[in-house]
């Protein structure tokens, strides 16, 4: 069973702190001012051992209206509440506001302690209890048991503890979150030890030497020591009150409202999607209204964007966005309370739907549909929404976990479902995925680019891979784009060459006239042997412009009939193979090859001999050592293979 955090709530001076001392033996008023004034100002904490021996912790919150923000910081993390109502005063203004807050924060496990029973007679005690029951109708505590007690005489305390035991047993059945989060409610320094923070661990576990992240401070620290109610421990789990001694961070860098997290999982945000419920007795909330937002242990000012309407009326629920004036760290499903800016009183609450959304169009039906899906929170649909928001962007498993906050096991299951249904594409070893609808968008654009390219350059194989990537997805890593191209190959949409991408049945196509000229150029280069004509000579002989000749030569290069040896020097493939064989024979006979000997053997000029030899070095057919060349790795690998010859386009 998991650990349980309990809390008090109720009007000022109704005996919350006295009751806590009666059942735990601990005075939770920590500050001298609190003890002098008899008034709880800040949060107090005490360990609590139930009659069964179960361990719990109790948070004592202030009841005065001036310290409501401190009360909110305390009740934000409780599982079970003891609502305290004094029998001599009954339900009071802060009883009402605390009950509203508990209802908005969905605290559904609780007991009502009707304190100071020794100060009233039986008739008044009965009337007060009836009044309390009426007030609880329609709240999360509607069925909470009422127990009259006197913390002074001890009357009713055993009965109260018995009811608390039952409620705690019910609360224990709920599953804690696996997401590591500890909202900080206190920060202090201990001489010789450094910075210490306290809070309630909402989910996950923490061990000594763990590295944690503190947001929105943006700091990483290491856990040096852990205590639970002044007792050192090696690890803690969800539901425990925790004190952490942190290394690598100064007290001045932290404050209440900061959150300790698993590194890299949650980021601060200043805009959140929310579902808002306005109290029936409150005024409406209007679009653009400035409000106070209490979430976790944070209080932050915000502007409300009401979506789909101008107001959220009393007793009604609506969708919106909170534009926060300071960053907070929240997760989907977190509950919050809204108080008016001035004077401050509780008017609404709600649920966080998304921690880092877009700024939505206020009156769009699509916006409301997206928020409705966020509100329902089906794991598979949360995953879909993550892809739909960035349809043409690859998402990693880590990014998907950050966006959905799904447990890793649940995330694996839902990813498998989307892959099986063909809704996403695996781009990299089941670690990076693309939304199928986004892939279709990319293909529509890519197909148009390739069609236009083939229409303009029919003699080329296809579009440059890198150019296509820069036009389609400039922010993608080349290896992910290569995976997308491979997917398109598998479904028969494209052909991929060394550096080009083309459509099947397109490219390397000549008209009749270009086909004739290409054949003549190929024959000319073949007959030229080891002294091929330059571009200007070819252009003049075949009456071609520079661009026209370039296209035909590119066609022959891609076809493999000719080879570019160096800038401006192109050899017929057959002649190049003969030159390679010639170089090989000389090296085998002479033990090495000099430039002059190769020039003489090819009966060409020094210009062409050097161009060929440097090309041979580049393809590792030869290797230069001083003034000579010896066999390169490619020549050694070829061994006694015969050179391959190709029939020219003239048929010779």
Q: Which domains does the chain have, with CATH numbers?
A: 4-171 (3.40.50.300), 181-261 (2.40.30.10), 269-370 (2.40.30.10), 512-638 (1.10.10.10)
Whether residue 496 contacts residue 483, with contact meaning beta carbons closer than 8 Å, is answered with no
**Radius of gyration for the chain, computed over Cα atoms and rounded to the nearest angstrom:** 39
How far is residue 575's CA from residue 524's CA, in Å, rounded to a whole number?
Answer: 12
Residue 30 pLDDT: 47
Picking from 300, 344, 305, the residue whose alpha carbon sits closest to that of residue 325 is 300
**Cβ neighbours for 461, distance < 8 A, ≥ 6 positions apart:** 495, 497, 500, 502, 507, 508, 558
Write out residues in the chain with pLDDT < 50, as ranges. Answer: 29-42, 63-67, 641-652
Joined together, the tokens standing for residue 65 give 């209206």
In three state form, how does the secondary structure of 98-112 look?
HHHHHHHCCCCEEEE
As beta bridge partners, residue 188 has: 196
What sign does the CA torsion over 412, 418, 420, 425 have?
A: negative
pLDDT given at position 41: 30
Tell me the pTM: 0.72
Smallest Cα–Cα separation from 19: which of 114, 97, 110?
114
The first and second tokens of residue 209, run together, are 């030497």
**Residue 378 DSSP class:** -
Q: How far is CA 541 from CA 172, 242, 517, 586, in A?
A: 92, 89, 10, 35
253 secondary structure, DSSP code: G
Candidates 382, 296, 291, 372; CA nearest to 334 is 296
**Parallel, antiparallel, or unpaired for β 4-10 and 55-60?**
parallel
Residues in the chain: 652
**CB neighbour burial string for 427-438, b if at least 16 within 10 angstroms, e if fewer:** beeeebbbbbeb
What does the DSSP 8-state code read for residue 252? G
Give the pLDDT confidence score for residue 326 in this predicted structure: 94
Q: 216 preceded by cis ω (within 30°)?
A: yes
Query: Helix count (H) and strand count (E) of the chain?
Result: 20, 34
Helix, strand, coil content of the chain in percent (nearest 5): 35, 30, 35
Cα separation values, 429 from 27, 426, 479, Å = 58, 7, 12
CA distances 491 to 169, 435, 501, 637, Å, are: 57, 16, 14, 36
Question: How many Å apart are CA 411 and CA 433, to the nearest integer?
Answer: 13
* Residue 447 CB burial class (10 angstroms; 0-12, 13-18, ≥19): middle
35 dihedral zone (left: phi>0; alpha: psi -120 to 50; beta):
alpha
Show the CA angle centred on residue 361, arms to residues 279 and 339, nearest 5°.
Answer: 25
- C-alpha span between 25 and 23 (Å, rounded): 6
Which among 565, 560, 590, 589 has a CA at the least distance from the CA of 579?
A: 565
Per-residue tokens: 288: 């653009």
- Per-residue DSSP letters for 586-638? HHHHHSSEEHHHHHHHHT--HHHHHHHHHHHHHTTSEEEETTEEEE-HHHHHH
Burial class for 388, CB neighbours closer than 10 Å (0-12, 13-18, 19+): middle
Sign of CA dihedral 227, 228, 231, 233: negative
């Amino acid at each position: 069973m998991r650990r349980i955090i309990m809390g008090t709530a109720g009007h000022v001076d109704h005996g919350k702190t006295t009751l806590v001392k009666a059942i735990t033996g601990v005075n939770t008023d920590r500050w001298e001012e609190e003890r002098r004034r008899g008034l709880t100002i800040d949060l107090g904490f005490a360990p609590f051992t139930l009659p069964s021996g179960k361990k719990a912790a109790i948070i004592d919150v202030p009841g005065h209206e001036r310290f409501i923000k401190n009360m909110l910081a305390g009740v934000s993390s409780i599982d079970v509440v003891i609502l305290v109502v004094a029998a001599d005063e009954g339900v009071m203004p802060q009883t009402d506001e605390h009950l509203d807050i508990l209802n908005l924060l969905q605290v559904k496990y609780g007991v009502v302690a009707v304190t100071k029973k020794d100060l009233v007679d039986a008739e008044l005690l009965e009337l007060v209890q009836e009044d309390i029951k009426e007030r609880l109708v329609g709240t999360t505590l509607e069925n909470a048991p009422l127990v009259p007690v006197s913390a002074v005489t001890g009357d009713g305390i055993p009965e109260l503890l018995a009811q608390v035991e039952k409620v705690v047993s019910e609360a224990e059945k709920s599953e804690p979150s696996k997401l590591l989060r500890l909202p900080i409610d206190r920060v202090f320094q201990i001489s010789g030890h450094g910075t210490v923070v306290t809070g309630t661990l909402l989910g996950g576990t923490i061990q000594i030497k763990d590295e944690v992240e503190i947001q929105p401070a943006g700091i990483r620290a290491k856990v040096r020591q852990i205590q639970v109610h002044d007792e050192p421990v090696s690890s803690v789990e969800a539901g425990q009150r925790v004190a952490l001694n942190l290394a690598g961070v100064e007290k001045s860098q932290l404050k209440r409202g900061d959150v300790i997290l698993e590194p890299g999982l949650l980021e601060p945000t200043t805009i959140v999607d929310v579902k808002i419920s306005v109290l029936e007795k409150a005024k409406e909330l209007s679009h653009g209204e400035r409000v106070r937002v209490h979430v976790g242990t944070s209080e932050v000012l915000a502007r409300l964007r009401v979506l789909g309407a101008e107001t959220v009326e009393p007793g009604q629920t609506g969708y919106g966005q909170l534009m926060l004036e300071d960053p907070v760290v929240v997760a989907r499903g977190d509950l919050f309370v809204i108080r008016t800016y001035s004077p401050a009183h509780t008017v609404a609450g709600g649920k966080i739907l998304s921690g880092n959304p877009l700024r939505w169009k206020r009156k769009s039906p699509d916006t409301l549909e997206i928020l409705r899906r966020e509100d329902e929170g089906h794991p598979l649909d949360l995953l879909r929404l993550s892809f739909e928001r960035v349809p043409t962007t690859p998402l990693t498993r880590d990014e998907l976990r950050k966006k959905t906050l799904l447990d890793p096991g649940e995330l694996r299951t839902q990813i498998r479902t989307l892959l099986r249904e063909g809704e996403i594409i695996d781009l990299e070893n089941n670690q990076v995925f693309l939304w199928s609808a986004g892939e279709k968008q990319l293909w529509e654009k890519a197909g148009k680019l390739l069609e236009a390219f083939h229409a303009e350059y029919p003699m080329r194989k296809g579009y440059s891979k890198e150019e296509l990537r820069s036009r389609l997805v400039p922010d993608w890593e080349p290896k992910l784009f290569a995976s997308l191209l491979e997917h398109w190959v598998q479904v028969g949409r494209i052909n991929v060459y060394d550096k080009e991408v083309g459509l099947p049945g397109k490219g390397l196509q000549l008209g009749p006239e270009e086909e004739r000229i290409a054949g003549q150029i190929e024959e000319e280069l073949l007959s030229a042997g080891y002294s091929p004509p330059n571009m200007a000579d070819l252009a003049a002989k075949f009456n071609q412009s520079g661009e026209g000749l370039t296209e035909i030569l590119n066609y022959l290069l891609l076809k493999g009939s000719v080879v570019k040896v160096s800038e401006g020097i192109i050899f017929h493939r057959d002649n190049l193979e003969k030159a390679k064989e010639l170089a090989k024979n000389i090296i085998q006979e002479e033990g090495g090859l000099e430039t002059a000997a190769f020039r003489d053997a090819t009966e060409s000029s020094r210009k062409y001999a050097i161009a060929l030899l440097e090309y041979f070095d580049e393809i590792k057919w030869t290797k230069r050592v001083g003034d000579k060349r010896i066999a390169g790795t490619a020549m050694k690998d070829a061994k006694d293979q015969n050179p391959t010859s190709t029939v020219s386009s003239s048929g010779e």
